[in-house]
Amino acid sequence: MDYRDNIEKVLITAEELAQMVDNLAAQISRDYADKDLLLVCILKGSMIFTGELMQRLTIPSQVDFMKVSSYGSGTTAGVLKVHLDLKRDDLDSKDILIIEDCIDTGRTLGGLSRYLKGKGCRSVKTCALLDKPSRREITFAPDYVGKEIPNEFVVGYGLDYDEDYRSLPYIAVLKPECYN
């Protein structure tokens, strides 16, 4: 089967993604020139974005990984579940930049920012490749955003639908019959 048969439309091409990541890397390289940058990649969706972003930074950086999920309802922040945590003892000297694939309700990044601030990191900021501001359920604004998108479920460039389609080199919307 060819996965391209399941694609309704390409929302962001590989070329546009490269441009978006270039711009983010330039801003971050500028803003973190005098800091001690630790990128925290949120698994699994941010793996490709994090790798591409890291390669374009002109300043030193380290990378680490977390896996989290969040539950909640209404406008309360809800509960953050940490499936994989940072295991390091130097967080008090690190400027954390959380790397997320897509912001929807805001619960995941809102909850994780608060969690990492509570661990005594020197600073905690957030960077998302995609943002769907119309979906927000809590008050949360990321520090860096690649692109705002409308309220559509997207896949590719690390983002999945039921664990599939992460390998697509662009951001796409699937045909309606592919979602069940």
Rounded to 5 degrees, φ, ψ at 14 are -60, -40
Q: Which does 70 bind (CB under 5 to 8 A by kind): Mg ion, ligand IMP, none?
A: ligand IMP
Cα dist from 59 to 19, 35, 116, 133, whole Å: 19, 9, 23, 30
Strand boundaries in the chain, DSSP class E: 7-12, 37-42, 62-71, 79-84, 95-103, 123-131, 144-148, 171-174
Closest CA to 133 of 118, 122, 116, 147: 147
CB of 60 to ligand IMP, least distance (A): 27
66 binds, among Mg ion, ligand IMP, none (CB under 5 to 8 A by kind): none
Which residue lies nearer to ligand IMP by CB, 54 or 154?
154
Residues 6+ apart with CB under 8 A from 133: 148
d(CA 40, CA 37): 10
Least distance to Mg ion from the beta carbon of 101, Å?
Answer: 6
Q: Applying CB under 5 A, does 72 fall inside the site for Mg ion?
A: no
Contact indicator for 110, 77 with CB cutoff of 8 Å: yes
| Interacting residues toward ligand IMP by CB under 6 A | 45, 70, 100-108, 153-155, 159
Which of Mg ion, ligand IMP, none does 106 bind, CB closer than 5 to 8 A by kind?
ligand IMP
**Encoded tokens for 104:** 């929807």
Minimum CB distance to ligand IMP smaller for 95 or for 160: 160
Positions marked active-site: 104
- Contact between 158 and Mg ion per CB under 5 A: no
Q: Which two tokens stand for residue 95?
A: 């400027």
Site string for Mg ion, 27-66 (x = CB under 5 A): ------------------x---------------------
Q: Which is nearer to ligand IMP, 14 or 59 (CB)?
A: 14
Q: Looking at beta carbons only, is 125 or 166 nearer to Mg ion?
A: 166
Residues of this chain that bind Mg ion (CB under 5 A): 45
